[in-house]
Amino acid sequence: MTIHGDERSGEERKKAETTADELVGLFPPGTRTDSDGTLVVGGCRLDDVAAQFGTPAIVVSEDALRQRARDYLGAFRSRWPRCDVAFASKSFPCTAVQRVMVEEGLHLDVAGGGEIRTALKAGADPARILLHGNAKSDDELGLAVKHGVGLVVVDNFDDIDRLERIVPAGHQQPCLVRVIPGVEAATHASQATGHAGSKFGLMPDDARSAIARIERSAKMRLDGVHTHVGSQLLNIEQLAQAVEPIAKLGTFEVYDLGGGLGVRYTYDEHPPSLDEYAEAMVGQAKALLPAGSRIIVEPGRSMVANSACTVYRVTTLKRGVVTHVAVDGGMGDNLEVSLTGQRFEATIVDRVGGGETVSVVGRHCESGDQLVDGVALREPSIGDLLAVPVTGAYCYTMSNQYNGARRVPVVFTRAGAARLVVRRDTWDDLLMRDVD
């Protein structure tokens, strides 16, 4: 039901009055509207991209992706020259994305054997790969050792047992020990990793024992320590708090400070800038860490989220107590809403900003399949293209085949040209693992 005039709440009026410029500001840098009002990402009109590759589709501005990588390197190395930036592949584990990061001079942080394989396919130097994981298998550690992965982040004592068994005689595997910093992160519970009781890493006393054990090992080399507070953190003070606990463990060659910087998904969110983040982290490093040490940061969400948007087609419009605008995707290509309650925004591709307050829902048989609740769309109708910005992080990662949905493609746009880097599932893909 459309709400008119004074009957609308203040919040609804604010949404209805959202300008095109405000909404475009959530899309990848460089996004604009064409002369007829249609969104243009990476020089490509989104209606042309949809016509060529279908919907739903994740559309990535390659220039935005590359520039963010350069900005990260610049922000940290200008403050701490011996700083490496390792892209947290789990946030967008697409080979083409990893390849961009490699080409821009970043290291790759991987979690598991699959991401090792995509990183190698992307052309990463194995020595510039870091392997994470709280439950690494023999096969995964064997793969890392075989290919010469530069750093294995030891999460537990079982990792040490396995490496001592797997690493060949006469060789040493460089390692970091992951430390729980004891920071209660102000984020969704599923995204907090630095609190006491986290499944990741070791409390400081246990970390000391792991450090001592690795230092005695003939098959492992202790390069340093690692910590991580969580994801989608908008408070940089909490991120910086993690430096002190690892500094207290001793003097090492490497201190990995993790990632976790939050991004702007909605009009109301105002995350710290990259420079503010770098200043806070390096400020703590200068105060607490040895001057000649190497530091590593591991951005994931804040590296890729704003580089992409997802384009859908409106399939159903249902008016009643709530106006439901249903699209041809949903929790099959964006689980962030259902899993973490993350808020997104949306717009009709050729009518950007303002309009009536509606609920954008997906096609899956779950009431929780809701992409954006209470968003302003201008005159939505069946067949319209709808775009959701800031979908570069974890949407592709968690894409699935729920209700027999075909996983969505990834399209890179640059200088007016669009190219497919991940194809859409075929119907045969849905059946390919059946053995009977």
56-78: pLDDT as tens digits: 999 999 999 999 999 999 999 99
159 class by beta-carbon count within 10 Å (0-12 exposed, 13-18 middle, 19+ buried): buried
Per-residue pLDDT, 168? 97
By the 10 Å C-beta count (0-12 exposed, 13-18 middle, 19+ buried), 168 is classed as exposed
Is residue 313 over pLDDT 90? yes
Contact 253, 224 (CB under 8 A): yes
- How many of the other CB atoms lie within 10 Å of CB of 397? 15
Average pLDDT of every residue of the chain: 93
The 10s digit of each residue's pLDDT in 230-240 is 878 888 888 88
Rounded to an integer, what is the distance from CA 145 to the centroid of its chain? 26
pLDDT (average), residues 113-136: 97
Contacts of 218 (CB under 8 A, 6+ apart): 172
Residue 283 has pLDDT above 60, yes or no: yes
How far is Cα 45 from Cα 284, in angstroms, rounded to an integer?
44
Q: Where are the beta strands (DSSP E) in 67-128?
A: 83-88, 107-111
Mean pLDDT, residues 168-189 taken together = 87
Beta strands in 218-377 (DSSP E): 220-227, 254-256, 294-297, 308-318, 324-327, 347-348, 356-361, 370-377
What CA–CA distances, in Å, run from 135 to 130, 140, 153, 220, 352?
A: 15, 10, 11, 18, 45
In the residue annotation, 175 being an active-site residue is answered as: no
How many CB atoms neighbour CB 175 within 10 A? 26
Q: Residue 251: is it exposed, middle or buried by C-beta count within 10 angstroms (0-12/13-18/19+)?
A: exposed
Look at residue 184 in the predicted model and tell me its pLDDT: 74
Q: Note the maximum CA span of the chain.
A: 78
Tokens coding 158 = 């079982």
pTM of the full structure: 0.93
Give pLDDT, residue 41.
Answer: 98
Where residue 238 falls (left for φ over 0; alpha for ψ -120 to 50; beta otherwise) is: alpha
Both structure tokens of 256 = 């990995």
CA distance 77 to 282: 10
% of the chain surpassing 70 pLDDT: 95
Which tens digits make up the pLDDT trace of 22-68? 889 999 999 999 999 999 999 999 999 999 999 999 999 999 999 99
Report the distance separating Cα 59 and Cα 168, nearest Å: 44
> Choosing from 83, 175, 365, 395, which is the catalytic residue?
365
